[in-house]
Amino acid sequence: SDGQDCDLVITDHAMPGMTGAELARHLRSSFPGLPVILASGYAELSEDNGIGRMLRMTKPFTQEQLQVAMDQALSGKVAAA
């Protein structure tokens, strides 16, 4: 086992102490295959954040949209949500 205890991380972009993109970079350095969904209320969230492929969701979103994004992330199909 690689010590990974979760299958998917969903994080907000705006958090105290670090951004969701910074968290994703940190997670990717330890767990390169861990899917991350980054949620933001800011439509202009940069695609060029040094993280690579990652699902981004603009808030607000529905439970159905979140489910689709989770299914994509867990299947390895990354697309903007």
> Nearest-CA neighbor of 24 among 40, 41, 44, 42?
40
- Tell me the three-class secondary structure of 27-67, residue by residue: HHHHCCCCCEEEEECCCCCCCCCCCCCCEEEECCCCHHHHH
* Predicted confidence (pLDDT) per residue in 8-58, tens digit: 999 999 899 999 989 999 998 988 889 999 999 876 555 555 566 678 899
CB of 38 closer than 8 Å to CB of 56: yes
Give the model's pLDDT for residue 81: 41
